[in-house]
Structure 1
Amino acid sequence: MTRGEQFAGLTVALVTPLKNGEVDYDDLRKLVDWHVAQGTDCLAPVGTTGESPTLNHDEHEKVISVVVEQARGRIKVMPGTGSNSTREAIRLTKFAKKVGADGALMVGPYYNKPTQEGYYQHFAAVAESVDIPIVLYNIPGRTGSNILPETMARLAEKCPTLVAVKEATGSLDQASQIIALTNLTVLSGDDSLTLPLMSIGGRGVISVVGNIVPKDMKALIAAFNAGNIPEAQKWHKQLFPLCRDMLGAATNPIPLKTAMMLLGRGNGELRLPMCGMDDAGKDKIRKTLTQYGLL
């Protein structure tokens, strides 16, 4: 069994609701309750989808504590605590542990492009400083460089609390190599690749579209786990256009927040430099939601 099995299944990368430029904590609590009712396995607040780059330190911490408090053990919580400063990553991860998070989702240091040795030392330093399950998040398209499978293998050997990887390179070769070299739980970081990744040994997804259709994503995972491949393929085929447009129509979470607004779930507000879609973009999202049967 892979060692991050507690995070197998559907984790939703939670949006951060905003109102008049400020975080709407009342709406955030409602989102947590909604996911509990929907059967979502785990929530990952303050990640990319949660617009963490534009939240200040106080907001980042308060979102974590509000989500953990509202979850009340009914749903797992794995907040984003990564940073391109190792000290900051340690501080945030310690905070997540203190308020009762179940794990920490740690993105590779972005912009400053560490060497592989730098990646190794960064994650090892956090793992040694805080006793909490860590899910490493590799997304070179955002960070600017790739954490190699060999580096993950070194980390897995050194750090027993490193339990899983959110794999968002889009490369099944890289995912296969991680699975071959480690006993880490591999989770898809791309909604549209959930089924392909599970077919090579992945155990679930940290999902964007799960903000809208968590039950459908869970149905895909459950069908695969039950060995019902035709059913899993049916869900993959249905979900694919939605996954593609939620992550392809504009930078995440712009299309997602637009979709949620069109579905009557929030006001669609973003924080600069993220900004709303033009009318043509909104029409595209409306069409996608209509074709899916959500509107």
Structure 2
Amino acid sequence: MFSGSIPALVTPFDAAGDFDEAVFRDFVEWQIAEGSAALVACGTTGEAATLSYDEHFHVVRVCVDQARGRVPVIAGAGSNDTRVATANLRAAKDAGADAALMVPPYYNRPSQEGIFRHFEALAADAPLPIVLYNVPGRTVTDIQPATVIRIVQAFPQVFVGIKDASGALGRVSQHRAALGPDFVQLSGNDDLALAYNAMGGTGCISVTANAAPRLCADFQAACAAGDMATALGLHDRLYPLHDAMFTDASPGPVKYAMTRIRPGFPPHLRLPMTPANDASRTLVDAALAHAGLI
């Protein structure tokens, strides 16, 4: 269902801290023109944690409206409260999203049985396909491969893929062995996308693609074509940028990169997130230059 380069879109805010819809619409249009295969609205990089419920799904609606069916839109919709996550799924559907991206419950730290029961409850009346999002570095909740397999085998029509940011590359093979090649596996780490694809992944939900959508799309196209020499060359060109995106708390570095790539793009973040520090900005500038983007 999903493949290629899929940016986890930043959410632009104006100087007053409000959602800048005009900038966002222009940003979505540019992403599509540059070859992004789908769009994630209101994920971690989109500062979903600081958006109100109404703001969150307004951003999703705007993304859907601007995309106009040219690429799928995946809405971040996770929660550590199963009832809230269920309501978020309905809101994502009402906003026009094609699928939802769902983290396991965070902070609560449920057991693997609790994780399964959470997703079982979501599947009971799921109005949208769900892409699991495993990011234990943020959630402190790791969906173990056996649990992923259990969830997907129980509800194959609902759980269509996974964004895996665990960093454990062997899981690609574990998931493939149990769930087959049609189960969508998307890297959640730009720097591991080459190896992830070589092991059977089909794409990446990317931070870097915010600032380098064409290069990321070309990289994914080379991987899909089996042209690993070209893919490796693009990986090497992009690697410093992948690294620079996390030299300060994200999305500070990527929002700074956007101001360098697209003059006039607002640099503002919502507290507690802060702008990239001086050292990070220096590294971002060097990485953008290395990639030939500035």
TM band (smaller chain): over 0.9
Taking the aligned partners of 1:128 and 1:243, their CA distance within structure 2 comes to: 38
Partner of 1:60: 56
Counterpart of 2:7 in structure 1 is 12
What's the counterpart of residue 126 of structure 2? 130
Partner of 1:70: 66
CA distance in 1, matches of 2:186, 2:278: 34
Deviation at 1:265, TM superposition (A): 5.2
Q: What secondary structure does 1:269 align onto?
A: coil
TM (norm. structure 1) is 0.95
Select 1:162's aligned residue among 159, 164, 169: 159
Q: Give, in whole Å, the separation in 2 of the partners of 1:227 and 1:276.
A: 38
1:164 is displaced (CA, Å) by: 0.2
SS in 2 for 1:136: strand
Per-residue CA distance 1:52-85 (angstroms, 9 max, x = gap)? 0111111111111111111111121001001111
Tell me the CA shift for residue 280 of structure 1.
Answer: 3.0
Aligned partner of 2:291 in structure 1 is 292
> In the alignment, is the contact (CA less than 8 A) between 2:237 and 2:290 conserved in 1?
no
Mapping 1:44-123, distance limit 5 Å: 44-123=40-119
Aligned 8 A contact 2:126 2:158 in 1: no
Deviations 1:12-64 (A, max 9, x none): 10000001211111111111111121121100010000000111111111111
Aligned-partner Cα distance in 2 for 1:83–1:290: 38
Task: State the number of aligned residues.
Answer: 289
3-state SS in 1 of match to 2:152: helix
- Where do residues 23-62 of structure 1 align in structure 2 (5 Å cutoff)? 23-62=19-58
The runs of at least 4 consecutive aligned structure 1 residues that moved more than 3 Å come to none
What CA distance in whole angstroms lies between the structure 1 residues aligned with 2:32 and 2:290?
A: 27
Choose which of 9, 14, 18 in structure 2 pairs with 1:22. 18
Q: Following the alignment from structure 2 to structure 1, what is the Cα–Cα distance between the partners of residues 252 and 143?
A: 26
Question: Match for residue 249 of structure 2?
Answer: 251
Quote the Cα distance in structure 2 between the aligned partners of 1:186 and 1:200. 10
Alignment of 1:274-289 (within 5 A): 274-289=273-288
What whole-Å deviation, never above 9, does each CA across 1:239-288 have from its counterpart, x for those lacking one?
11111111x21122110001111222512110000001233332222222
Supply the AA of the counterpart residue of 2:114. G
Q: Which amino acid in structure 2 is aligned with residue 133 of structure 1?
A: P
- SS of the residue corresponding to residue 234 of structure 2 reads helix
Kept in 2, the 8 Å contact 1:83–1:110? The answer is: yes
Deviation at 1:228, TM superposition (A): 1.3
Q: Which amino acid aligns with 1:171?
A: A
Separation in structure 1 between the aligned mates of residue 76 and residue 195 of structure 2, nearest angstrom? 25
2:210 is the alignment partner of 1:211: yes
In structure 1, stretches of 5+ residues that fail to align are 1-5
CA contact (8 A) 1:13 1:211 kept: yes
Structure 2 gaps, min length 5? none
Aligned AA for 2:251? P
1:261 corresponds to:
259
Please report how far the alpha carbon of residue 86 of structure 1 lies from its aligned counterpart in structure 2 after TM superposition. Answer: 0.7
Matched, 1:228 2:223: no
TM-score between both structures, scaled by the size of structure 2: 0.95
Task: Tell me, yes or no, if the aligned pair for 1:97 and 1:130 is still in contact at 8 Å.
Answer: no
The amino acid that maps onto 1:243 is H
Query: Does the 8 Å CA contact 1:150/1:181 hold for their aligned counterparts?
Result: no
Amino acid across the alignment from 2:198: S
Distance 1:61 1:131 in 2: 15
Deviations 1:127-159 (A, max 9, x none): 222231110000000001210111111111111
**Aligned with 1:151 (options 147, 150, 158):** 147
